[in-house]
Amino acid sequence: MVLEVKGLCKEYMRGSQPFYAVDHVDFSMDKGDFVSIIGRSGSGKSTMLNLIAGLLDPTEGTVTISGQCLSGLDDEALSAVRNTVLGYVPQGQTILSNLNVLDNVRLPFYFSKREGTSTARAMELLEQVGIGHLAESLPKELSGGELRRVSIARALMCSHELLVLDEPTGDLDPETTAEIMELLKSIAEQGTAVLMVTHELDTTTYGNRTYVMDRGRLTPSKIAL
Ligand SMILES: Nc1ncnc2c1ncn2[C@@H]1O[C@H](COP(=O)(O)OP(=O)(O)OP(=O)(O)O)[C@@H](O)[C@H]1O
Ligand SMILES: [Mg+2]
């Protein structure tokens, strides 16, 4: 089992009224699974991914990735675990504009304080996502689809077990979206568990399972695609 989510909840306040942004979510993923989560704006998708990525503390429930439970760890231990068990592509653009493409991809390696050199691994990942020729370019010289490939390569730098993506194609045209989805499918076929949140129903056809998020509740999709 790569990911196991049990009874996961996040409670927030709206005014003086508490509500569950994530409401008792249970699900799990194996090696090579490609899971899509679809849901309306505000349904709790990003909150759930942030809980899975260890960026938010759950009100209740647990997240276990590759046998490592994220609960009860202090900040330093949590960062160390996060850096080894998952790669996260957050919603929006997160590439650093003052570093070239290769250095953006190498960045997590330095945060993880590992020994050795990261250049060969970063180049291998850039080739895998189809932009090896752009290694020395600056982010401002890249298209939206190319930038998304940089984010994916960077997320895979320190962990190949679980790749989590929040709306990876929300700002891309249909053709570039299809290319990114093919890339994610091939990453899953090589054994990485891929968990993606999306607004776009079409993109769920690339995965092997789809769930719907509605007011914090996660249920398997009954939509025939
Ligand atoms: N820090 C917070 N405090 C209070 N409420 C919050 C907080 N963060 C998110 N929310 C609320 O929780 C709900 C879920 O938000 P979330 O960002 O997870 O939605 P989403 O499904 O990712 O939406 P989108 O598709 O627009 O990205 C929303 O109603 C939002 O207003
Ligand atoms: Mg969101």
CA of 36 to the centre of ligand 1 (A): 18
42 close to ligand 1 (CB < 6 Angstrom): yes
Closest residue CA from atom 29 of ligand 1: 42
Closest residue CA from atom 19 of ligand 1: 42
Between CA 102 and CA 118 the distance in angstroms is 10
From the first residue on, what is the mean pLDDT of each consecutive set of 10 residues in the chain (225 residues)? 97 95 97 95 95 94 93 85 89 92 91 77 94 97 94 91 94 91 95 93 91 96 65
Q: Ligand 1 pocket check: which of 45, 169, 200 to mutate, most ligand atoms within 8 Å of Cβ?
A: 45
144 close to ligand 1 (CB < 6 Angstrom): no
Closest residue CA from atom 17 of ligand 1: 46
Contact indicator for 163, 3 with CB cutoff of 8 Å: no
pLDDT at 113: 67
CATH topology for the 3-220 domain: Rossmann fold (3.40.50)
Residue bearing tokens 């809980």 = 51
CA of 166 to the centre of ligand 1 (A): 13
Q: Which amino acid is at 9?
A: C
pLDDT at 118: 87
pLDDT at 76: 86
90 close to ligand 1 (CB < 6 Angstrom): no
Contact indicator for 153, 122 with CB cutoff of 8 Å: yes
- Report the atom number in ligand 1 closest to the C-alpha of 213: 21
Residue bearing tokens 């991914």 = 49
DSSP3 helix / strand / coil % (the chain, rounded to 5): 35, 30, 35
pLDDT at 82: 84
70 close to ligand 1 (CB < 6 Angstrom): no
Angle between helical axes of 101-111 and 119-128 (0-180°, round to 10): 120
pLDDT at 201: 85
44 close to ligand 1 (CB < 6 Angstrom): yes
Question: Torsions phi, psi of 187, nearest 5?
Answer: -65, -40
